[in-house]
Amino acid sequence: MEIQKDRVVSIDYLLKDDQGQMIDRSEGDPLVYLHGNDNIIPGLERHLEGKKAGDKVSCVIAPADAYGEHDEEMVFSVSRKDFAESDKIEVGMQFQAQEEGGMRVVTVVGIDGDNVKIDANHPLAGKSLHFDVTVKDVREASAEE
């Protein structure tokens, strides 16, 4: 059965950056998603379209087809007092922030006195993503799915 819209797909994947460093992997627990419903990044979804169980796909997804370009307007400073435990803030920490569309993960990228510089871009924004994927299973979706 081929991968197409509204089919349930199971994949094993290995994700690396441009330097070949592993970012993520399914580690024997396949990722299961409903194809064609924005459940995975658009670039990977396009590469998987029409594939069958057992097929292997190696591809590089440009930022525009993944998590978008890095947007400098999404890097800004907030007051240290806006954090619950302001004395424990460190560069690299991540927090969930409420916004109009729901929750967003923000990363602390700098601290200058009482100002905390945060980056609200997705951590993989601006990065090309290198995928090695094996299609494990493709099936029709149930009514609930």
Identify the band that residue 43 occupies on the pLDDT scale cut at 50, 70 and 90: very high
Token readout for 129 is 């993503």
Query: Do you know the residue count of the chain?
Result: 145
Identify the band that residue 96 occupies on the pLDDT scale cut at 50, 70 and 90: confident
Q: What's the pLDDT at 98?
A: 79
**46-66 pLDDT, tens per residue?**
999 999 999 999 999 999 999
CA distance 29 to 51: 20
Token readout for 85 is 């435990």
3-class secondary structure, 125: coil
Angle among Cα 129, 61, 135 to the nearest 5 degrees reads 90
